[in-house]
Amino acid sequence: MKAILALEDGTIFRGESFGAQGTVTGEVCFNTSMTGYQEILTDPSYRGQIVTMTYPEIGNYGVCEEDNESACPQVRGFAVAEVARLHSNWRCRESLQDWMTRHGIPGIEGIDTRMLTKLLRTKGAQRACLTTELSEQEAVAAAQAAPPMAGSDFVTEVSTPQVYHWEEESRDWKLPNKTTGDLSLYAELPPIRYRIVAFDFGIKRNILRCLRRDGFDVTVVPAHTKAEEVLALQPDGIFLSNGPGDPSALPDIYAELQKLLGKLPIFGICLGHQLLGLAFGGKTFKLKFGHRGGNQPVKDLRTGKVAITSQNHGFAVDDSSLPEDVEVTHINLNDGTVEGLRHKTLPIFCVQYHPEAAPGPKDATYFFSEFIGLIEDFKAGKYNS
Protein backbone atom coordinates (compact mmCIF):
# COMPACT_ATOMS: atom_id res chain seq x y z
CA MET A 1 0.00 0.00 0.00
CA LYS A 2 1.15 3.51 -0.79
CA ALA A 3 1.96 5.93 2.04
CA ILE A 4 2.94 9.59 2.19
CA LEU A 5 4.81 11.72 4.68
CA ALA A 6 3.69 15.36 4.45
CA LEU A 7 5.51 18.20 6.21
CA GLU A 8 3.96 21.44 7.39
CA ASP A 9 5.93 23.40 4.77
CA GLY A 10 4.14 21.45 2.02
CA THR A 11 6.94 19.00 1.18
CA ILE A 12 5.66 15.53 0.25
CA PHE A 13 7.55 12.24 0.51
CA ARG A 14 5.92 9.31 -1.30
CA GLY A 15 6.70 5.72 -0.35
CA GLU A 16 5.37 2.32 0.63
CA SER A 17 3.48 1.50 3.81
CA PHE A 18 4.83 -1.00 6.35
CA GLY A 19 3.65 -1.80 9.82
CA ALA A 20 0.15 -0.57 10.66
CA GLN A 21 -2.03 1.49 8.33
CA GLY A 22 -3.76 4.74 9.20
CA THR A 23 -2.90 8.38 9.88
CA VAL A 24 -0.68 9.95 12.56
CA THR A 25 0.73 13.42 13.15
CA GLY A 26 3.63 14.69 15.20
CA GLU A 27 6.98 16.42 15.03
CA VAL A 28 9.28 14.64 12.58
CA CYS A 29 12.91 14.22 13.69
CA PHE A 30 15.94 12.23 12.55
CA ASN A 31 18.24 9.82 14.39
CA THR A 32 21.78 9.16 13.14
CA SER A 33 22.31 5.79 14.87
CA MET A 34 23.21 2.79 12.71
CA THR A 35 21.57 0.29 15.09
CA GLY A 36 19.23 0.39 18.06
CA TYR A 37 15.96 1.00 16.21
CA GLN A 38 14.02 -1.05 18.76
CA GLU A 39 15.36 0.97 21.67
CA ILE A 40 14.54 4.16 19.75
CA LEU A 41 10.99 3.08 18.97
CA THR A 42 10.29 2.18 22.62
CA ASP A 43 12.03 5.19 24.19
CA PRO A 44 9.35 7.30 25.95
CA SER A 45 11.35 10.44 25.10
CA TYR A 46 10.07 10.04 21.51
CA ARG A 47 6.44 10.40 22.54
CA GLY A 48 4.58 12.61 20.06
CA GLN A 49 7.19 12.26 17.31
CA ILE A 50 7.65 10.61 13.92
CA VAL A 51 11.21 9.30 13.69
CA THR A 52 13.30 8.86 10.55
CA MET A 53 16.59 6.96 10.50
CA THR A 54 19.56 8.23 8.50
CA TYR A 55 21.01 4.71 8.19
CA PRO A 56 19.53 3.22 4.98
CA GLU A 57 18.50 -0.34 5.96
CA ILE A 58 16.50 -0.90 9.14
CA GLY A 59 15.07 -4.11 10.64
CA ASN A 60 17.83 -6.57 9.75
CA TYR A 61 18.01 -8.11 13.24
CA GLY A 62 14.29 -8.18 14.01
CA VAL A 63 12.79 -7.42 17.41
CA CYS A 64 13.72 -8.89 20.81
CA GLU A 65 11.28 -8.00 23.59
CA GLU A 66 14.06 -8.01 26.22
CA ASP A 67 15.57 -4.95 24.53
CA ASN A 68 12.49 -2.73 24.87
CA GLU A 69 13.05 0.49 26.79
CA SER A 70 9.38 0.57 27.83
CA ALA A 71 6.32 -1.67 27.65
CA CYS A 72 5.36 -0.65 24.09
CA PRO A 73 6.40 1.55 21.14
CA GLN A 74 6.24 5.26 21.96
CA VAL A 75 6.75 6.90 18.55
CA ARG A 76 3.82 8.10 16.45
CA GLY A 77 5.34 6.79 13.20
CA PHE A 78 8.55 5.52 11.59
CA ALA A 79 10.17 6.56 8.29
CA VAL A 80 13.08 4.67 6.69
CA ALA A 81 14.80 4.31 3.35
CA GLU A 82 14.42 0.52 3.28
CA VAL A 83 13.01 -2.17 5.58
CA ALA A 84 15.01 -5.42 5.61
CA ARG A 85 13.06 -8.26 4.01
CA LEU A 86 14.97 -10.85 6.05
CA HIS A 87 16.00 -10.59 9.69
CA SER A 88 18.61 -12.68 11.47
CA ASN A 89 19.29 -12.72 15.22
CA TRP A 90 19.17 -15.70 17.56
CA ARG A 91 17.40 -13.59 20.19
CA CYS A 92 14.70 -12.06 17.96
CA ARG A 93 11.04 -13.05 18.23
CA GLU A 94 9.50 -11.39 15.17
CA SER A 95 10.17 -9.00 12.31
CA LEU A 96 10.10 -5.24 12.75
CA GLN A 97 7.15 -5.02 10.33
CA ASP A 98 5.04 -7.56 12.24
CA TRP A 99 5.89 -5.96 15.58
CA MET A 100 4.87 -2.49 14.36
CA THR A 101 1.64 -3.88 12.91
CA ARG A 102 0.82 -5.62 16.18
CA HIS A 103 1.33 -2.38 18.12
CA GLY A 104 -0.47 -0.13 15.64
CA ILE A 105 2.54 1.95 14.57
CA PRO A 106 2.49 3.06 10.90
CA GLY A 107 5.67 3.24 8.88
CA ILE A 108 6.80 4.48 5.48
CA GLU A 109 9.75 3.15 3.47
CA GLY A 110 11.28 3.96 0.11
CA ILE A 111 11.62 7.69 0.77
CA ASP A 112 14.77 9.79 0.42
CA THR A 113 15.73 9.98 4.09
CA ARG A 114 18.89 11.93 3.22
CA MET A 115 16.78 14.67 1.64
CA LEU A 116 14.43 14.66 4.62
CA THR A 117 17.32 14.95 7.07
CA LYS A 118 18.93 17.81 5.14
CA LEU A 119 15.58 19.61 5.03
CA LEU A 120 15.17 19.31 8.81
CA ARG A 121 18.75 20.48 9.41
CA THR A 122 18.18 23.51 7.18
CA LYS A 123 14.65 24.52 8.13
CA GLY A 124 14.48 23.00 11.60
CA ALA A 125 12.11 20.45 13.12
CA GLN A 126 8.68 20.35 11.50
CA ARG A 127 5.27 18.96 12.21
CA ALA A 128 4.30 16.15 9.87
CA CYS A 129 1.57 13.71 8.90
CA LEU A 130 2.22 10.07 7.97
CA THR A 131 -0.80 8.52 6.28
CA THR A 132 -2.11 5.71 4.09
CA GLU A 133 -5.56 7.32 3.92
CA LEU A 134 -5.42 11.06 3.22
CA SER A 135 -4.72 12.95 0.03
CA GLU A 136 -1.53 15.02 -0.17
CA GLN A 137 -3.43 18.25 0.44
CA GLU A 138 -5.29 16.75 3.42
CA ALA A 139 -2.03 15.40 4.85
CA VAL A 140 -0.33 18.80 4.66
CA ALA A 141 -3.34 20.39 6.37
CA ALA A 142 -3.21 17.71 9.09
CA ALA A 143 0.50 18.42 9.65
CA GLN A 144 -0.16 22.15 9.94
CA ALA A 145 -2.97 21.53 12.43
CA ALA A 146 -0.86 19.30 14.70
CA PRO A 147 0.17 20.86 18.03
CA PRO A 148 3.83 22.04 18.17
CA MET A 149 6.34 20.31 20.43
CA ALA A 150 7.07 23.59 22.19
CA GLY A 151 4.61 23.89 25.06
CA SER A 152 3.58 20.22 24.91
CA ASP A 153 3.44 18.01 28.01
CA PHE A 154 3.83 14.33 27.10
CA VAL A 155 5.27 13.34 30.47
CA THR A 156 1.82 12.74 31.94
CA GLU A 157 1.16 10.19 29.16
CA VAL A 158 4.30 8.12 29.73
CA SER A 159 4.89 8.31 33.49
CA THR A 160 3.93 5.44 35.76
CA PRO A 161 0.49 5.89 37.37
CA GLN A 162 1.66 4.37 40.66
CA VAL A 163 4.75 3.81 42.79
CA TYR A 164 6.63 0.57 42.13
CA HIS A 165 9.86 -1.15 43.12
CA TRP A 166 12.26 -2.11 40.31
CA GLU A 167 12.80 -5.86 40.48
CA GLU A 168 13.21 -6.82 36.80
CA GLU A 169 16.24 -8.56 35.31
CA SER A 170 19.19 -6.18 35.59
CA ARG A 171 22.25 -8.39 35.21
CA ASP A 172 24.74 -7.56 32.48
CA TRP A 173 25.32 -9.93 29.56
CA LYS A 174 28.65 -11.77 29.53
CA LEU A 175 30.34 -14.42 27.42
CA PRO A 176 30.39 -18.01 28.77
CA ASN A 177 33.85 -19.22 29.81
CA LYS A 178 34.41 -22.87 28.86
CA THR A 179 37.87 -22.89 30.45
CA THR A 180 36.56 -22.15 33.94
CA GLY A 181 33.29 -23.99 33.42
CA ASP A 182 31.25 -20.80 33.91
CA LEU A 183 28.61 -21.12 31.17
CA SER A 184 26.19 -18.53 32.50
CA LEU A 185 25.14 -15.63 30.23
CA TYR A 186 24.81 -13.06 33.01
CA ALA A 187 27.20 -11.38 35.42
CA GLU A 188 26.34 -11.38 39.11
CA LEU A 189 24.57 -8.35 40.59
CA PRO A 190 26.32 -6.46 43.42
CA PRO A 191 24.70 -6.16 46.84
CA ILE A 192 22.42 -3.20 47.56
CA ARG A 193 24.36 -0.21 48.87
CA TYR A 194 21.85 2.65 48.82
CA ARG A 195 18.12 3.18 48.40
CA ILE A 196 17.01 5.83 45.92
CA VAL A 197 13.78 7.26 44.55
CA ALA A 198 13.59 7.65 40.76
CA PHE A 199 11.15 10.13 39.24
CA ASP A 200 9.56 8.60 36.15
CA PHE A 201 9.24 11.29 33.48
CA GLY A 202 9.46 8.55 30.84
CA ILE A 203 12.25 6.45 32.31
CA LYS A 204 14.14 3.97 30.13
CA ARG A 205 14.47 0.44 31.45
CA ASN A 206 18.21 0.35 30.88
CA ILE A 207 18.64 3.30 33.24
CA LEU A 208 16.93 1.23 35.92
CA ARG A 209 19.14 -1.75 35.06
CA CYS A 210 22.29 0.39 35.33
CA LEU A 211 21.22 1.84 38.66
CA ARG A 212 20.67 -1.66 40.05
CA ARG A 213 24.00 -2.88 38.63
CA ASP A 214 25.75 -0.13 40.55
CA GLY A 215 24.19 -1.19 43.83
CA PHE A 216 21.07 0.94 44.06
CA ASP A 217 17.70 -0.26 45.31
CA VAL A 218 15.25 1.73 43.18
CA THR A 219 11.71 2.84 43.99
CA VAL A 220 10.05 4.53 40.99
CA VAL A 221 7.48 7.28 41.57
CA PRO A 222 5.10 9.14 39.21
CA ALA A 223 6.24 12.39 37.63
CA HIS A 224 3.91 14.58 39.68
CA THR A 225 4.89 13.14 43.09
CA LYS A 226 5.15 15.82 45.78
CA ALA A 227 8.46 16.59 47.47
CA GLU A 228 7.15 15.64 50.90
CA GLU A 229 6.05 12.24 49.58
CA VAL A 230 9.55 11.58 48.29
CA LEU A 231 11.17 12.61 51.56
CA ALA A 232 8.72 10.40 53.48
CA LEU A 233 10.23 7.37 51.71
CA GLN A 234 13.58 8.25 53.37
CA PRO A 235 15.80 7.50 50.38
CA ASP A 236 19.57 8.03 50.25
CA GLY A 237 19.29 9.90 46.97
CA ILE A 238 16.98 11.06 44.17
CA PHE A 239 17.22 10.27 40.45
CA LEU A 240 15.46 12.34 37.75
CA SER A 241 14.80 10.46 34.52
CA ASN A 242 14.63 11.25 30.83
CA GLY A 243 11.29 12.06 29.21
CA PRO A 244 9.49 13.71 26.27
CA GLY A 245 8.23 17.16 25.42
CA ASP A 246 9.00 20.70 26.53
CA PRO A 247 10.48 21.00 30.05
CA SER A 248 9.11 24.54 30.44
CA ALA A 249 5.59 23.07 30.12
CA LEU A 250 6.09 21.30 33.48
CA PRO A 251 6.16 24.15 36.07
CA ASP A 252 4.44 22.09 38.76
CA ILE A 253 7.17 19.43 38.51
CA TYR A 254 10.21 21.70 38.73
CA ALA A 255 8.51 23.65 41.50
CA GLU A 256 8.47 20.43 43.54
CA LEU A 257 12.09 19.75 42.61
CA GLN A 258 13.04 23.16 44.01
CA LYS A 259 11.80 21.94 47.40
CA LEU A 260 14.22 18.99 47.21
CA LEU A 261 17.36 20.98 46.38
CA GLY A 262 19.88 20.47 49.18
CA LYS A 263 17.74 17.91 51.02
CA LEU A 264 19.31 14.85 49.35
CA PRO A 265 21.84 14.05 46.60
CA ILE A 266 20.23 14.38 43.15
CA PHE A 267 21.31 12.99 39.77
CA GLY A 268 19.41 13.84 36.56
CA ILE A 269 19.56 12.61 32.97
CA CYS A 270 18.12 14.32 29.84
CA LEU A 271 14.72 15.82 30.79
CA GLY A 272 15.78 15.45 34.42
CA HIS A 273 18.80 17.62 33.57
CA GLN A 274 16.58 20.26 31.93
CA LEU A 275 14.15 20.27 34.86
CA LEU A 276 17.04 20.80 37.27
CA GLY A 277 18.16 23.73 35.15
CA LEU A 278 14.68 25.22 35.55
CA ALA A 279 14.62 24.40 39.28
CA PHE A 280 17.93 26.27 39.65
CA GLY A 281 16.21 29.33 38.20
CA GLY A 282 17.50 28.97 34.65
CA LYS A 283 15.70 28.76 31.31
CA THR A 284 15.45 26.24 28.47
CA PHE A 285 15.07 26.71 24.72
CA LYS A 286 14.14 24.59 21.72
CA LEU A 287 16.99 23.41 19.51
CA LYS A 288 16.68 23.87 15.76
CA PHE A 289 16.57 20.13 15.02
CA GLY A 290 17.72 18.48 18.25
CA HIS A 291 20.44 15.97 19.10
CA ARG A 292 19.44 12.38 18.34
CA GLY A 293 21.88 9.57 17.72
CA GLY A 294 24.83 7.65 19.11
CA ASN A 295 27.67 9.83 17.80
CA GLN A 296 27.42 13.14 19.66
CA PRO A 297 30.84 14.37 20.95
CA VAL A 298 30.76 15.81 24.47
CA LYS A 299 33.68 17.40 26.29
CA ASP A 300 34.10 17.18 30.06
CA LEU A 301 35.37 20.66 30.94
CA ARG A 302 36.82 19.40 34.21
CA THR A 303 39.16 16.82 32.64
CA GLY A 304 39.31 17.78 28.97
CA LYS A 305 38.22 14.29 27.96
CA VAL A 306 35.81 13.79 25.06
CA ALA A 307 33.16 11.06 25.05
CA ILE A 308 31.05 9.83 22.14
CA THR A 309 27.54 9.90 23.54
CA SER A 310 23.98 8.79 22.84
CA GLN A 311 21.43 11.60 22.87
CA ASN A 312 17.75 12.20 22.28
CA HIS A 313 16.50 15.68 23.04
CA GLY A 314 15.01 18.69 21.30
CA PHE A 315 15.48 21.23 24.11
CA ALA A 316 18.53 22.52 25.97
CA VAL A 317 19.42 24.57 29.05
CA ASP A 318 20.41 28.19 28.43
CA ASP A 319 23.78 28.54 30.16
CA SER A 320 23.52 32.36 30.30
CA SER A 321 20.38 32.05 32.45
CA LEU A 322 21.97 29.92 35.20
CA PRO A 323 22.86 31.39 38.62
CA GLU A 324 26.51 31.74 39.67
CA ASP A 325 26.37 28.75 42.02
CA VAL A 326 25.71 26.35 39.11
CA GLU A 327 28.67 25.19 37.03
CA VAL A 328 28.56 23.97 33.41
CA THR A 329 30.64 20.75 33.42
CA HIS A 330 30.07 19.39 29.90
CA ILE A 331 29.45 20.91 26.47
CA ASN A 332 28.45 19.55 23.07
CA LEU A 333 31.38 19.95 20.67
CA ASN A 334 29.10 20.29 17.65
CA ASP A 335 27.21 23.38 18.78
CA GLY A 336 28.54 24.31 22.23
CA THR A 337 25.25 23.68 24.06
CA VAL A 338 25.14 22.59 27.70
CA GLU A 339 25.54 18.85 28.28
CA GLY A 340 26.22 18.73 32.01
CA LEU A 341 25.69 20.78 35.19
CA ARG A 342 26.86 20.60 38.78
CA HIS A 343 25.83 22.73 41.75
CA LYS A 344 28.85 24.28 43.45
CA THR A 345 27.58 23.90 47.03
CA LEU A 346 24.76 21.35 46.92
CA PRO A 347 25.01 17.58 46.14
CA ILE A 348 23.45 17.84 42.68
CA PHE A 349 24.69 17.04 39.17
CA CYS A 350 23.08 16.16 35.85
CA VAL A 351 23.86 15.38 32.21
CA GLN A 352 21.90 16.00 29.02
CA TYR A 353 22.92 12.77 27.32
CA HIS A 354 22.37 9.07 28.06
CA PRO A 355 25.24 7.30 29.88
CA GLU A 356 23.24 4.06 29.98
CA ALA A 357 22.92 3.81 26.18
CA ALA A 358 26.58 2.75 25.75
CA PRO A 359 27.56 4.06 22.30
CA GLY A 360 31.21 4.33 23.39
CA PRO A 361 30.34 1.65 24.58
CA LYS A 362 31.05 2.67 28.19
CA ASP A 363 32.48 6.18 27.87
CA ALA A 364 29.89 7.72 30.18
CA THR A 365 28.86 5.00 32.63
CA TYR A 366 31.03 6.58 35.34
CA PHE A 367 28.15 8.90 36.23
CA PHE A 368 26.39 6.13 38.12
CA SER A 369 29.52 5.63 40.23
CA GLU A 370 29.73 9.41 40.73
CA PHE A 371 26.21 9.29 42.12
CA ILE A 372 27.39 6.78 44.73
CA GLY A 373 30.29 9.06 45.60
CA LEU A 374 27.91 12.00 45.96
CA ILE A 375 25.72 10.03 48.38
CA GLU A 376 28.75 8.95 50.42
CA ASP A 377 30.03 12.52 50.65
CA PHE A 378 26.59 13.72 51.72
CA LYS A 379 26.39 11.07 54.43
CA ALA A 380 29.89 12.03 55.58
CA GLY A 381 28.71 15.59 56.17
CA LYS A 382 30.70 17.26 53.38
CA TYR A 383 27.68 19.31 52.30
CA ASN A 384 26.63 20.52 55.76
CA SER A 385 28.85 23.56 55.87
As annotated, the active-site residues are 270, 354, 356
- The whole-angstrom separation of Cα 287 and Cα 266 is 26
Per-residue DSSP letter, 284: E
DSSP 181-192: TB--SBPPPPPP
Determine the residue type at 102: R
Determine the residue type at 312: N
- The whole-angstrom separation of Cα 383 and Cα 343 is 11
Q: Quick count: other Cβ atoms within 10 Å of Cβ 67? A: 15
Angle subtended at Cα 21 by Cα 68 and Cα 29, rounded to the nearest 5 degrees: 55
3-state secondary structure of 69: coil
- What are the beta bridge partners of residue 198? 220, 239
- The whole-angstrom separation of Cα 372 and Cα 375 is 5
Q: Is 32 exposed, middle or buried (0-12, 13-18, 19+ CB in 10 A)?
A: middle
> What are the Cα distances from residue 298, in Å, to 183, 304, 335, 342, 366?
38, 10, 10, 16, 14
